[in-house]
Amino acid sequence: FYATRGDRPLLGKHVVVTSGPTHEPIDPVRYIANRSSGQQGHAIAAALAGLGARVTLVSGPVTLADPAGVETRHVETARQMAAAVDAALPADIVVCAAAVADWRVAGEADQKIKKDGSGQVPALAFVENPDILATVSKPGARRPPLVVGFAAETEKVVDHARAKLARKGCDWIIANDVGSGPDGGVMGAADNAIHIVTAGGVESWPRLAKTEVATRLARRIAETVKERNI
C-alpha cells in the first residue's frame, strides 16, 4: 500500500518533540525533579508520527514506553536535553512539551553528601538552565518554521501565556490550566484543558483526555503546515 497525502499530511516533515521532566543531580544518588509524567508530550509525538511525520522525541526520565514509530533519545538533565534537541535539528516543527527544570544545582557533588553527625544541613545553590524553547525560537536560518511551546500556569492562564509567547519568540503557546480539574492538577493526570495562544488570538478547548488533545493538536499542526506551505 502507498499512503496518500490525505492520510499522511505530514509525510516528509521532521518534527522534534521534547517530553517529560528533567532530573538535575545534587550528588551521584540524589536529584531535583518535577511531577511531569511525559504523557502529553509522548502522545503528541505518537500522533504526529501517525500523520506521517518523521518524529524525534527527546525524552527526560519517564516510565512510559517509547512510542512506536518514533525515534526516541533519552536524556536526564536540561543541558543534555538542550544538546539532544540541537543535534536533532534541522526540523520543520518543534514542540517543546517537556517540563524542563528551570534551575540545576550549582557545584554538583562528585561523591554522596554525608551527614557529619552535627545536625548541620547542606545548603543548595542553583544556577539557571538553558531555555531550549527560547533558543530554538531565535530568528535565523535554522529556526524551524513552526515552534510550539507549552505553559504550565495556575492563575491568569491566558495572560501569562501571552507574555510567554512574546518572551520565548515561539509561534504558539499551549497553555495548561494546571490549577483546574477534579484532581486539582494536570501533571500526572490523564486529561488536560488547554488554550492555544498565538499572535492571532486564543482558542480554548474543553477538558479532554491527553491522547485526544494530542490527536487534535497534531491535526491542527498539519492544517497549519498546509496553510503556511511549511
Query: Rounded distance, CA 190 to CA 33, Å?
Result: 20
Amino acid making up residue 9: P
Binding to Ca ion by residue 128, rule CB under 5 A?
A: no
* 183 near Ca ion (CB under 5 A): no
**Selected binder of ligand CTP within 33, 64, 83, 152 (CB under 6 A):** 152
At 89, list the grid cell: 535539528
**SS3 assignment, position 154:** coil
Question: Considering only residues 98, 105, 194, 213, which one is a binding residue for ligand CTP as defined by CB under 6 A?
Answer: 98
Q: What does the alpha-carbon distance between residue 172 and residue 148 come to, in Å, rounded to a whole number?
A: 5
Residue 130 assigned as binding residue:
yes
Half-sphere exposure in the Cβ direction for 18 (13 Å, CA): 34
**Cα–Cα distance between 85 and 78 in angstroms, integer?**
10
Q: Which three cell numbers stand for residue 205?
A: 478547548
Among 49, 91, 149, 172, binds ligand CTP (CB under 6 A): 149
The region of 6-14, 43-51, 108-116, 144-152 touching ligand CTP under the rule CB under 6 A is 144-152
Stretch that binds ligand CTP, among 9-17, 47-55, 96-104, 109-117 (CB under 6 A): 96-104
Detail the residues annotated as belonging to a binding site for CTP: 102, 112, 130-133, 150, 164, 168
Residues in contact with ligand CTP by the rule CB under 6 A = 18, 78, 96, 98, 100, 102, 129, 131-133, 149-152, 164
